A and B are shown apart, each in its own frame.
Chain A
Amino acid sequence: MNEQTLTPEQRAANLKGMGSSRKRVEDVRFTQGKGNYVDDIKLDGMLFGDFVRSPYAHARVVSINTEEAMKVPGVVAVLTAEDLAPLGLHWMPTLAGDKQMVLADGKVLFQGQEVAFVVAEDRYAAADAAELVEVDYEELPVVVDPFEALKSDVVLREDTVDENGNATEGAHGPRNHPNHIFTWEQGEKEATEAVLSEADVVAEEMVYYHRTHPCPLETCGSVASMDKVTGKLTLWGTFQAPHAIRTVVSLISGIAEHNIRVISPDIGGGFGNKVGAYAGYVCSVVASIVTGKPVKWVEDRMENLMSTAFARDYWMQGKIAATKDGKITGLWCHTTADHGGFDACADPTKFPAGFMNICTGSYDIPTAYLAVEGVYTNKAPGGVAYRCSFRVTEAAYFIERMIEVLAIKLNMDAAELRRINFIKKDQFPYQSALGWEYDSGDYHTAWDKALESVGYDKLRAEQAQQIEDFKAGKTRKLMGIGLTHFTEIVGAGPVKNCDILGLGMFDSCEIRIHPTGSAIARLGTISQGQGHATTFAQIIASEIGLPADDITLEEGDTDTAPYGLGTYGSRSTPVAGAATAMAARKIRAKAQMIAAYLLEVHDDDVEWDIDRFAVKGAPERFKTMKEIAFAAYNQAIPGLEPGLEAVSYYDPPNMTYPFGAYICVLDIDVDTGAADIRSFYALDDCGTRINPMIIEGQVHGGLTEALAIAMGQEIAYDEMGNVKTGTLMDFFIPTAWETPNYITDHTTTPSPHHPIGAKGVGESPNVGGVPCFSNAVHDAFRPFGLTQTHMPHDHWRIWKTANDLGLHG
């Protein structure tokens, strides 16, 4: 078979381009243990760092004695804030415009806070020595409740009050209490309150989305190597945004940016946990500078859960107004956001509560108001987007609970209530009351397909029968049907709106075609399991007609990859994927000129055909991309430079708005509180689909993280600020045994502004999954008077709900 005899379908299939369930190229390494994660890096003379951490949630550090620790054989140094202060590195900026202690500077604000950094020749010596560092603490009153914090006389952050004890202005405006961080308001307050006061029906509820943690299987870590001869710092680390880390390291350390090389090697899952900068990264750098040797720091699981970025912890007071027929007229939300001891949320600068203002969801709500109040407490800092675009999970959970609460108030079917309030297909692009322009959607089609697929009416009939049986004493099980229709906002974002620490949130791709028709592409993003090396090559394959198997993809090395803001917030496909398509199109544009020259026709007389340019009207006269590539390097073409490569820095005109319709059916054992997931149907619309196999895998994984969050996973504190869920014994991660099989489905509504119409999918299942599982639990108890209870719905809480409702007789 040669290129003359293949059918167009065969030629397209050979490319393994967009739409193909191409097997992952990453897996050949990973399946035989040849990944290269941070802890796999081994350098000559490398030292190990380990932290001394605070056992107290709030205390003054009176003194630190390192004498005994230094006597441990193999210990090289013990760093404290005093050692970092002369370098100005005892505090560091957070992504949210606040600052954070690298090592305890006079006091500690949460249990597990970094107090001293021990550096030793091996990790056992470092751990031994950390035990021997004597820290004298003076305990202070602990504040763990954000509502109490705003009333408390206990000042957590003395560095944010003036000499009279009044709060100084914060990064996001005036602060009204020393423990208050910001108040962020969106929408029309007075108009919304007027709607609420005049409405036929108003449902009101406090919706709490508890504190949890992304907990990727690989913890965070770094290896810093300062080469004193060249003056160059190389920093390997678990960085979801390696280029941003390079810039931040340069700004805070004073090392020129060209002398810093940041490398994100393989990353063992991120889910938002690896976006921010941690004390360990800074300490490994300082320790390498001080000792002149490479220094590795890798946290253990307890450290990961206690001290690196948590997620959620939003108390969302909501009011939703509707006509008696169920047409929603207004939405009001006041959120109290527990940020812990430092404001280290990962949000674009102008959005201190992220994109929480997507909380009108999939519904055409004419009037809305949102206020979010950030609060300091004696808990770990964070507030990262755990498998979601900034605070989008909180928003989706809020609106999808409020819809259910309203349905109860109206005594309406929640599926029907959603249907009559969906934004209609012809309303897109849709301007939401809280300021977003939704790019595209067809919610009714997705919803109807979902309801039909699961046999919704039949399920409701079965449920009605079961309730009767329950009341008649024939069963002790209750059936819950959970519904969710979510809309996300991902792909941050337009640089005019979105920056992190002043760094615009564009992304990039550089493609070089080699003379023999293979290629290498480098991007500003970094895969953490999403399979970029597979899927981005597919985009290029479809755009320029070279087989994906002949395209190498690289990310994560700031010395070689073009600058970009990294991978989180489902931004890789919407932003870097767009850059990839645009760079490929630049190459194709040049290829067109080369082909026309080789075919001796005008540029306009050739047309693109899968993998070649052919003369219009004479398809037998063509030049394949492979032939063009060789000519680009080896033939003198008048007016054209040799070579075939391009780079694109893509600043998206808007964000993308993936959506989905999820339905969960579960059975609750009223006496044990166990919830058995009977079925879960997930329809996702992520626009153009690049690799269906990978999309499906992302959905399975995201739903399982949602299952964890909704049904048991939390970072819980006692009143003394002790972390109660600091190991995987207490912090719930579902095993294969607890996890159900999922049914996946899709509709395809391309994004009109994205070059290939793709919207991103990795986070959808978490955003939609959590409310779906939670709604199913609520739904099971709806006939018995339950309107709202808090997640996570573990056995104990479900049992308690049943007990409170008098179902235990």
Chain B
Amino acid sequence: MSKMHVTMNVNGKEVEGLAEPRTLLIHFLRENLNITGPHIGCETSHCGACTVDMDGKSVKSCTVFVAQAQGKDVTTVEGLVNEDGSLGVIQEMFREHHGLQCGFCTPGMITRAHRLLQENPNPTEEEIRFGMAGNLCRCTGYQNIVKSIAAAADTLNAQKEAAE
């Protein structure tokens, strides 16, 4: 199958590559760009391990063709670290509150949590649970994930307030 010239912005950098149009975005990220944070857990959109941010929306990159991502802005978990290389607030809160165990769902969880908090900076527990329901975790039972996201919301809001 002939390949197309793909360009997109990933984690703030313009990138390009050659791929068959049917190539899934997750494979383009992982294999062409060596961005291996997003994982493949089901290939049917259920588990959310492959979640990335595309043009300001959470998408499951296992069911997005690379052709659909042409020219888009994509953020993965790698793009959520601070400029100095330290962990971003959500990442730090997942560590602080034991919001991960095997780590396989974590990049998708954190990327989804990032978008959730963009959309709703003050979520209730119910809103966090509903907003994260597209991401499966087999290890944590979600309790500490919910706690991590709530703590991240508080920290981000406090930072915003301090900056104003």
Q: Bound complex: CA of A261 vs CA of B83, how far in Å?
A: 38
Chain B residues, Cβ within 8 Å of A529: 101-103, 139
B41 at the interface (CB under 8 A from A): yes
In the complex, are the beta carbons of A736 and B44 less than 8 A apart?
Answer: no
A693 at the interface (CB under 8 A from B): yes
With A32-B91, A33-B76 already in contact, the answer to whether A271 and B44 are too (CB < 8 A) is no
A217 at the interface (CB under 8 A from B): yes
Q: Bound complex: CA of A702 vs CA of B41, how far in Å?
A: 19
Q: Bound complex: CA of A530 vs CA of B136, how far in Å?
A: 18
B58 at the interface (CB under 8 A from A): no
Q: Bound complex: CA of A696 vs CA of B141, how far in Å?
A: 10
Which among A30, A267, A727, A742 has the highest number of chain B CB atoms within 10 Å? A30
| 8 Å CB interface, A29-55 against B | 29-35, 37, 39-40, 42
Q: Bound complex: CA of A693 vs CA of B130, how far in Å?
A: 25
Chain B residues, Cβ within 8 Å of A23: 95-96, 98
In the complex, are the beta carbons of A37 and B39 less than 8 A apart?
Answer: yes
In the complex, are the beta carbons of A268 and B39 less than 8 A apart?
Answer: yes
Q: Bound complex: CA of A216 vs CA of B105, how far in Å?
A: 10
| Contact pattern, B 36-50, Cβ under 8 Å of A = 1, otherwise 0 | 111111111011010
| Contact pattern, A 246-285, Cβ under 8 Å of B = 1, otherwise 0 | 0000000000000000000011110100000000000000
Name the one of B77, B80, B95 contacting A24, with C-beta atoms under 8 angstroms: B95
Task: Write the chain B residue with the least CB distance to A693.
Answer: B98
With A32-B37, A217-B104, A701-B138 already in contact, the answer to whether A736 and B129 are too (CB < 8 A) is yes
Task: Write the chain A residue with the least CB distance to B128.
Answer: A736
In the complex, are the beta carbons of A742 and B143 less than 8 A apart?
Answer: yes
In the complex, are the beta carbons of A728 and B46 less than 8 A apart?
Answer: yes
Chain B residues, Cβ within 8 Å of A267: 102
| 8 Å CB interface, B95-141 against A | 95-96, 98, 100-107, 110, 128-130, 132-141
Chain B residues, Cβ within 8 Å of A739: 129, 141-143
A474 to B: closest C-beta gap in Å: 28
A307 to B: closest C-beta gap in Å: 15
Chain B residues, Cβ within 8 Å of A735: 129, 132-136, 142
Chain A residues, Cβ within 8 Å of B98: 23-24, 693-694, 696-697
Q: Bound complex: CA of A34 vs CA of B76, how far in Å?
A: 12
| Contact pattern, A 692-726, Cβ under 8 Å of B = 1, otherwise 0 | 01101110111111000000000000000000000
Chain B residues, Cβ within 8 Å of A572: none
B16 at the interface (CB under 8 A from A): no
In the complex, are the beta carbons of A269 and B102 less than 8 A apart?
Answer: yes
A476 at the interface (CB under 8 A from B): no
B40 to A: closest C-beta gap in Å: 7
In the complex, are the beta carbons of B41 and A217 less than 8 A apart?
Answer: yes
In the complex, are the beta carbons of A124 and B23 less than 8 A apart?
Answer: yes
A204 at the interface (CB under 8 A from B): no
| Contact pattern, A 1-42, Cβ under 8 Å of B = 1, otherwise 0 | 000000000000000000000011011111111110101101
A515 at the interface (CB under 8 A from B): no
Chain B residues, Cβ within 8 Å of A703: 141
Chain A residues, Cβ within 8 Å of B135: 735-736
In the complex, are the beta carbons of A271 and B138 less than 8 A apart?
Answer: yes
Chain B residues, Cβ within 8 Å of A40: 30, 36
Task: Write the chain B residue with the least CB distance to A216.
Answer: B138
B70 to A: closest C-beta gap in Å: 18
With A28-B95, A216-B138 already in contact, the answer to whether A700 and B144 are too (CB < 8 A) is yes
A454 at the interface (CB under 8 A from B): no
A215 at the interface (CB under 8 A from B): yes
Which among A40, A217, A530, A735 has the highest number of chain B CB atoms within 10 Å? A217
Chain A residues, Cβ within 8 Å of B102: 216-218, 266-269, 528-529
B146 to A: closest C-beta gap in Å: 6
Chain A residues, Cβ within 8 Å of B140: 697, 700-701, 704
A531 at the interface (CB under 8 A from B): yes
For the side of the interface on A, what is the size category? 35 or more
With A32-B87, A728-B44 already in contact, the answer to whether A697 and B101 are too (CB < 8 A) is yes
Chain B residues, Cβ within 8 Å of A33: 35-38, 76-78, 107
Task: Write the chain A residue with the least CB distance to B85.
Answer: A32
Task: Write the chain A residue with the least CB distance to B144.
Answer: A697
A300 at the interface (CB under 8 A from B): yes
| Contact pattern, B 45-83, Cβ under 8 Å of A = 1, otherwise 0 | 011010000000000000000000000000011101100
Q: Bound complex: CA of A32 vs CA of B79, how far in Å?
A: 8
In the complex, are the beta carbons of A727 and B139 less than 8 A apart?
Answer: no
Q: Bound complex: CA of A599 vs CA of B77, how far in Å?
A: 53
A291 at the interface (CB under 8 A from B): no
Name the one of A31, A696, A727 contacting B91, with C-beta atoms under 8 angstroms: A31
In the complex, are the beta carbons of A700 and B129 less than 8 A apart?
Answer: no
A301 at the interface (CB under 8 A from B): yes
In the complex, are the beta carbons of B103 and A26 less than 8 A apart?
Answer: yes
Q: Bound complex: CA of A344 vs CA of B32, how far in Å?
A: 38
In the complex, are the beta carbons of B87 and A28 less than 8 A apart?
Answer: yes
A161 at the interface (CB under 8 A from B): no
With A217-B49, A217-B105, A266-B103 already in contact, the answer to whether A31 and B95 are too (CB < 8 A) is yes
A741 at the interface (CB under 8 A from B): yes
In the complex, are the beta carbons of A728 and B37 less than 8 A apart?
Answer: no
| 8 Å CB interface, A172-222 against B | 215-219
Chain B residues, Cβ within 8 Å of A636: none
A495 at the interface (CB under 8 A from B): no
Chain A residues, Cβ within 8 Å of B49: 217
B42 to A: closest C-beta gap in Å: 4
In the complex, are the beta carbons of A32 and B46 less than 8 A apart?
Answer: no
A123 at the interface (CB under 8 A from B): yes
In the complex, are the beta carbons of B44 and A27 less than 8 A apart?
Answer: no
Q: Bound complex: CA of A727 vs CA of B44, how far in Å?
A: 8
Which among B42, B47, B105 has the highest number of chain A CB atoms within 10 Å? B42
A472 at the interface (CB under 8 A from B): no
Q: Bound complex: CA of A703 vs CA of B138, how far in Å?
A: 10
B160 to A: closest C-beta gap in Å: 21
In the complex, are the beta carbons of A27 and B94 less than 8 A apart?
Answer: yes
A729 at the interface (CB under 8 A from B): yes
Q: Bound complex: CA of A28 vs CA of B82, how far in Å?
A: 13
A674 at the interface (CB under 8 A from B): no
Q: Bound complex: CA of A300 vs CA of B139, how far in Å?
A: 20
Which among B34, B78, B139, B145 has the highest number of chain A CB atoms within 10 Å? B139
Chain A residues, Cβ within 8 Å of B13: none
Task: Write the chain A residue with the least CB distance to B143.
Answer: A700
| 8 Å CB interface, A545-579 against B | none
B22 at the interface (CB under 8 A from A): yes
Chain A residues, Cβ within 8 Å of B38: 33
A410 at the interface (CB under 8 A from B): no
A219 to B: closest C-beta gap in Å: 8
Chain A residues, Cβ within 8 Å of B37: 32-34
Task: Write the chain A residue with the least CB distance to B35.
Answer: A33
Chain A residues, Cβ within 8 Å of B76: 33
Chain A residues, Cβ within 8 Å of B30: 39-40
Task: Write the chain B residue with the least CB distance to A31.
Answer: B91
Q: List 19 A-B contacts (CB under 8 A).
A: A26-B103, A30-B100, A31-B91, A32-B37, A32-B77, A39-B30, A217-B104, A697-B139, A700-B144, A702-B141, A727-B42, A727-B44, A728-B136, A729-B44, A733-B46, A735-B135, A736-B129, A736-B137, A737-B133
Interface residues of B (CB under 8 A from A): 1, 20, 22-23, 27, 30-31, 34-44, 46-47, 49, 76-78, 80-81, 87, 91-92, 94-96, 98, 100-107, 110, 128-130, 132-146
Q: Rank and list the top 8 A-B pairs by shortest CB-CB distance, nearest first.
A: A33-B37, A268-B104, A529-B102, A30-B103, A700-B141, A704-B141, A529-B101, A728-B46
Taking A216-B104, A728-B136 as known contacts, 13 extra A-B pairs with beta carbons closer than 8 A to each other, sorted by chain A number, are A23-B98, A26-B103, A31-B100, A32-B87, A33-B78, A39-B39, A217-B104, A217-B105, A298-B40, A531-B101, A697-B139, A698-B101, A701-B140
Interface residues of A (CB under 8 A from B): 23-24, 26-35, 37, 39-40, 42, 123-124, 215-219, 266-269, 271, 298, 300-301, 528-531, 693-694, 696-698, 700-705, 727-729, 733, 735-737, 739, 741-742
